[in-house]
Every structure is written in C-alpha cells, then in structure tokens.
Amino acid sequence: MLSELKSIIENVALPKQMPDGALEPTLSVAQIEELAIRFGTDGKTIEVTALENGILPERYLRNFKSFNLSDQLRLLKSKVAVVGLGGLGGTVLEWLTRAGVGHLNLIDGDRFEDHNLNRQLLCTQNRLGTAKARAAAERACRINSSLTVEAHTEFLTAQNAARLVSECHVVVDCLDTIPSRFAVEAAVKTAGIPLVSAAVAGLTGHITTVFPQDRGLELIYGPAHELKEAKGVETILGNLPPTVGLIASIQSAEVIKVLLGQDDQLLRNQMLMVDLSSNTYEVLKLI
Amino acid sequence: MDATIDLKLFATLAAHTPHEASRYPITTGMTVAHLIELLQIPPVSAKLIFVNGIRVDLATRLNGGERVGIFPPVGGG
C-alpha cells in the first residue's frame, strides 16, 4: 500500500511557489483528506508519507523554511502533553496545532467559567460550563484533522501522571497553582521528559525549560515543601489577555525548539522574564 | 561618592519602588536581605532576587553599581 500511496502522492502533488520564488511540490488539505479515505488511513499517514518523499503539505507552507521538511516531519511524529487548558494552554494548543505537532495529549479536569472569558481562547459564551479538554480537542481537530488528539478530562495527579505523559517528548506546564506545577514537574522528572513551564500575573510573566536532571522550579519558587501559598500575586493582579498570549507564544516556541533538538537555544536553568508595564524582557540566570 | 544600585521591583512589588530607583543609594557591603527590609517589602513577597541578571540569595552583599531585580511569586495561567 505504501509504495502505491507514495507514487500517487508524487503524481498528484502540485508545485507551489515558496516565498523565495522556488517551486516545491505540495499536497493540499483536500488532497490529504481524499487520499486518507481512498487508502483507508488517516491524514497523518498521508502527510508523513508526503514529507518522507520531499512533498510539503500546503498547510505548513508558511512554516517553510524556518522548518525544513525534516523538521516538519519531526514535529508531525512528536507527542506533547499540554497540562492545563486555560489561558496559557489554550494559546499553546493553538500554536502547536498550527505548527503541526502530530500528537497532543490535552489534560484538564476543569470546566469553563465566566471569568475565563477575558483571556482563554478556548472559552466562548456557548462553552461556559463545558469541559476545557473537550473544547481543546475539538479546536485542534478543526484546525488540523491530520493530528492525533486525546482529550483527558481529569487533573494530572501523582497517580495518573505516568499514563497521561507516557511516550511524550515534551510536557507543557500551563497550570495555575504552584503546588500543581511541582506535581507535574515531579511526574515528568520520573518519566524522564523535558518540561516547559510558564506563569503569569498581571503584566508580568516568565518561562523556563526543565530537563529531568535540572533543579527546575525550586529555583523559581523555592523548595516545594516550603511553599506557603498555592497561588502567586495573580490573586492580586489578575491574568491579563496580552500577557497570557505573549507568554504562551514564547512557551510554544520553546516547546518547538525542544522537539527540534535545538538544545543550545533553550531556557534551561534560565528564566525569560517579561514585564509589559516597564517593557522589560530579560533572560535571567537561575544558577 | 556614595554607592548606588539600579533597582527594579516587579509586579506587586512595583508599589514599593523608591524615588530615583535607578540610582538608589546603598551602604557598601549591605545584604540583599537588608535592602528588602529598607524597602519595606514583606520577605515572603521577595521570592526571586537577581543581581546583574543572576539569581542570588538573601545573604548576597551589594557593593554598588549592580542591577538588582526583585520578584514576588507568579503562578497564574
């Protein structure tokens, strides 16, 4: 089947002009859907076969050449867990889906409430009271039906963590309490998976990347056992839409860099701090 | 000439920002803990302290000329 699929893809691929003027063979969304039905397979198989044979699904055309064909293939074969699908998670989901990350585990036991509407892209009036993980999965499928998307309507705990992050290449911490962030960090360290963590309050936010052998979040929040409060100053300052969108976008870029193996460009043992009130953007060294 | 630091207080701590914070006078050799006390910041709120872009602890001494940034805990999403 694969050799037949390969030759059909090569025959139907249409050359499209790249931003630099070069012509590259591409496959449209409609062609991908048609071939998936014809071969009784899924869109991802069609896209993987295309990319392996030098053909770019047109949906990724504007990722090119920042992502070359092998980068795009690597993203499509990647699995990422997004933990928390509120402000940060909703935006991270949007960018990872559009970037073409092939498998997303979407984890949140929460439901939408009115006060989510100011910043959470997945939260719309008609969704109030419904599960965040289901809204996230639906959004991802509407954007890119070639992806594998799992909705987990449960909170990540020490008990279910191993199952929920199994075989993931990166876990994204988009949570909203400090103890739950430590719980996710403990789980991914046990599983040996990198974590990209971000947090916001008012016009301030920060992002860091933690590999299993790194000290990680204790460098930002102090040791977990010394935590006095579950929340930070967001209880006073709130969570503002531009901060959430910006910090989540930086977090998404960091996830993609981890997936593409750009290890020397990560925020390991560092924290990118953004303060939109004073227009301060600085990479701070945590050790 | 007296020693000064370039002081930046973030998020809720911005309310504690003194006049002319970019040339805030210090006593040479004073600790970060003493600085936080002078600024009347509750110690539990000064979660993260950076001197010249590097995280330091409360016992770190300041000599003047440093850039000092102080953050409260931030945990929202």
Domain boundaries, chain A: 2-73, 78-285
The answer to whether residue B28 is domain-embedded is yes
Total domains, chain B: 1
Judge: B8–A278 Cβ closer than 8 Å, yes or no.
yes
Q: What is d(CA A152, CA B73) in angstroms, rounded to the nearest whole number?
A: 29
What is the dihedral sign for C-alpha B50, B56, B58, B60? Answer: negative
For residue B4, what pLDDT is reported? 98
The answer to whether residue B55 is domain-embedded is yes
Judge: A205–B14 Cβ closer than 8 Å, yes or no.
no
CA distances from A113 to A87, A90, A200, B55 (A): 12, 14, 19, 37
Judge: A175–B53 Cβ closer than 8 Å, yes or no.
no
Judge: A237–B12 Cβ closer than 8 Å, yes or no.
yes
The single-letter code of the amino acid at A52 is: E
For residue A188, what pLDDT is reported? 95
For residue A158, what pLDDT is reported? 87
The answer to whether residue B74 is domain-embedded is no
Q: How many angstroms away from the CA of B71 is the closest CA of chain A?
A: 10
The pLDDT tens digits for A147-190 are 999 999 999 998 999 899 999 999 999 999 999 999 999 999 99
CB < 8 Å to B76, chain A: 87, 176, 199-201, 231-232, 234, 238-239
- Sheet architecture: strand order including A14-17: A14-17, A23-27, A56-57
Cβ within 8 Å of residue B70, ≥6 positions away: B7, B8, B9, B10, B13, B36, B39, B41, B46, B48, B49, B50
Domain that holds residue B34: 3-62
pLDDT band per the 50, 70, 90 thresholds, residue B1: low
Judge: B77–A174 Cβ closer than 8 Å, yes or no.
yes
Which candidate from A229, A239, A278 shows the least CB-CB separation from B76? A239
Judge: B72–A232 Cβ closer than 8 Å, yes or no.
yes
CB < 8 Å to B44, chain A: 228
Q: What is d(CA A176, CA A208) in angstroms, rounded to the nearest whole number?
A: 15
Question: Considering only alpha carbons, which residue of chain A is nearest residue B45?
Answer: A233
> Among the CATH numbers 3.40.50.720, 1.10.10.10, 3.30.750.24, 3.30.420.40, which is that of A78-285?
3.40.50.720
Q: How many angstroms away from the CA of B58 is the closest CA of chain A?
A: 13
CA dihedral A250→A252→A257→A258, nearest 10 degrees, is 120
Which candidate from A176, A228, A277 shows the least CB-CB separation from B76? A176
A71 vs B: CB within 8 A: no
φ, ψ of residue A217 in degrees (nearest 5) = -65, -25
CA dihedral A111→A115→A117→A123, nearest 10 degrees, is 0
What is the DSSP annotation of B8-55?
A: EE-GGGGGGPPTTGGGEEE-TT-BHHHHHHHTT--GGG--EEEETTEE
Q: How many angstroms away from the CA of A283 is the closest CA of chain B?
A: 7
The answer to whether residue B47 is domain-embedded is yes
For residue A2, what pLDDT is reported? 80
Instruction: Choose among A163, A177, A179, A199: nearest CA to A81.
Output: A163
Which candidate from B8, B69, B74 shows the least CB-CB separation from A232? B74
Residue B67 in 3-state DSSP?
strand
Q: Low-confidence residues of chain A, pLDDT below 70?
A: none
The answer to whether residue B30 is domain-embedded is yes
Residues in B whose CB is inside 8 Å of some CB of A read 8, 10-12, 14, 44-45, 47-48, 50, 53-55, 69, 71-77
What is the dihedral sign for C-alpha A47, A121, A158, A269? Answer: positive
Judge: B10–A275 Cβ closer than 8 Å, yes or no.
yes
- Which neighbouring-strand residues pair with A239? A202
Q: How many CB pairs under 8 A join A and B?
A: 95
- Which neighbouring-strand residues pair with A148? A103
A85 vs B: CB within 8 A: no
Judge: A221–B76 Cβ closer than 8 Å, yes or no.
no
Cβ within 8 Å of residue A196, ≥6 positions away: A170, A171, A172, A173, A207, A208, A209, A210, A251, A254, A255, A258
Judge: A234–B14 Cβ closer than 8 Å, yes or no.
no
Pair A60, A72: CB distance under 8 Å: yes
The answer to whether residue B33 is domain-embedded is yes
The answer to whether residue B69 is domain-embedded is no
